[in-house]
Amino acid sequence: MELSVPSRLLNSSAAAAAAIKSKSRIPFRPLLIPLLPYQRSLSPFTLKHMNNNSQSILSCPSLPQNNGSPSSEPGRIGEVKRVTKETNVCVKINLDGTGVANSSTSIPFLDHMLDQLASHGLFDVHVKATGDIHIDDHHTNEDVALALGTALLQALGDRKGINRFGDFSAPLDEALIHVSLDLSGRPHLSYDLNIPTARVGTYDTQLVEHFFQSLVNTSGMTLHIRQLAGKNSHHIIEATFKAFARALRMATEYDPRRLGAIPSSKGVLSRS
Question: Does residue 180 register a pLDDT over 90?
Answer: yes
In a domain, residue 39? The reply is: no
In a domain, residue 120? The reply is: yes
Total of domains in the chain: 1
pTM of the model: 0.74
Question: Does residue 45 register a pLDDT over 80?
Answer: no
DSSP 7: G
Torsional sign, CA 127, 93, 85, 188: negative
In a domain, residue 48? The reply is: no
> Could you write out the DSSP letters of every residue in 77-115?
EEEEEEE-SSEEEEEEEETTS---EEEE-S-HHHHHHHH
Per-residue model confidence as pLDDT tens digits over 231-258 = 999 999 999 999 999 999 999 999 999 8
Question: 149 near 143, Cβ under 8 Å?
Answer: no
In angstroms, the Cα distances linking 38 to 41, 71, 102, 111 are 10, 19, 26, 34
In a domain, residue 46? The reply is: no
In a domain, residue 17? The reply is: no
In a domain, residue 61? The reply is: no
Average pLDDT for residues 74-91, to the nearest whole number?
Answer: 95
In a domain, residue 3? The reply is: no
In a domain, residue 262? The reply is: no
Per-residue model confidence as pLDDT tens digits over 186-205 = 999 999 999 999 999 999 99
Q: How confident is the model at residue 46 (pLDDT cuts 50, 70, 90)?
A: very low
Domain that holds residue 244: 77-252
Question: 105 near 129, Cβ under 8 Å?
Answer: yes
Q: Give the separation between CA 266 and CA 261, rounded to whole angstroms.
A: 11
Cα atoms found within 13 Å of the Cα of residue 81, Cβ hemisphere only: 13
Torsional sign, CA 265, 267, 270, 272: negative
- CATH classification of the domain holding 193: 3.30.230.40
Q: How confident is the model at residue 29 (pLDDT cuts 50, 70, 90)?
A: low
